[in-house]
Copies of this chain bind each other. A is one copy, B any other.
Amino acid sequence: MTEYEVYLSGEIHSNWREDIINATESKNLPISFTGPVTDHDASDNIGVDATGPEEKNFWKDHKAAKINSIRIKNGIESANIVIIKFGEKYRQWNAAFDAGYAAALGKSYIVIHPEDFTHALKEVDAQAMAVARDEAAVIKILEYLTLK
């Protein structure tokens, strides 16, 4: 039986990760999950918390983003599948960055986004192995991929 490691990228202010993880666990699918740190405050402040304060917001963000990249990069590189959710809010450039990163590594990724993002996300969708509207579609795909 095929086993998968799945990296869950994108939106961090909803429970979509838990919905997918819980559904696949209740079905006993042979899948393990990784993802970024989803504690928003901890994520924004880890740079200055660990290596000292910065006066400019640019460097505060810079130091945090680099530390976060250690986890993101390791997660994507060891994953068999990357799932990227674009939600309704925020600019979410990091989600598109992760998609580009996965594409260049030749990783299969699946995108979740509302229909009205179709034109704006066409380059991201073009390299995806599936474009889903919701988590239910992704769960169906994961169940299919792990069929005996």
Contact = CB atoms under 8 A, between A and B. Distances in A.
How many copies the complex holds: the figure is 8
A125 B69 contact: no
A46 B138 CA distance: 11
Contacts of A119: 57, 61
Interface of A: 2, 4, 34, 37, 39, 42, 46-47, 49-52, 55, 57-59, 61-75, 80-81, 86, 90-106, 108, 117-133, 137-138, 140-141, 144-145, 147
A108 B126 CA distance: 13
8 contacts: A2-B75, A37-B145, A70-B129, A70-B145, A93-B93, A97-B123, A97-B124, A102-B104
